[in-house]
Amino acid sequence: MPKIIDNHELLLKKLMEQPIGKKTILTSTFYPNKVVYNCGCGSTHAVNNPNLKIVGTALPVKFLLACEDGYTSFVQVTGFFIQKAESIWTCETKLFDDVMHKAKIMMDSFR
């Protein structure tokens, strides 16, 4: 099981350690079906699963993926010939949205 983040402070810290950008038209999760990650919901998901929402990306090959069971995971794909995926952290999507919302309010207040 990956590390499940269950509090605002820790999630915010993780998000500041590794800035995550919005996905672009070049963002692709086109990987073989066997490239799967362990999600906080207790299942494993193929990175290429079309039901996953790509929330963001980071370099080199990291994706923030939200699954249908309410978890958002930060996933790194490694390897060139043999690729594999690994969750760096995972949290409830609700917690993620909450932190993003609060961070946005915080940013707006500096304008």
In terms of Cβ atoms closer than 10 Å to its own Cβ (0-12, 13-18, 19+), residue 70 is middle
CB of 11 to Zn ion, least distance (A): 17
**Residue 67 within binding range of Zn ion, rule CB under 5 A:** yes
Residue type at 75 in one-letter notation: V
- Residues 14, 110: Cα–Cα separation, whole Å: 22
| Count of residues in contact with Zn ion, rule CB under 5 A | 5
**Residue 65 within binding range of Zn ion, rule CB under 5 A:** no
CB of 99 to Zn ion, least distance (A): 18
**Residue 63 within binding range of Zn ion, rule CB under 5 A:** no
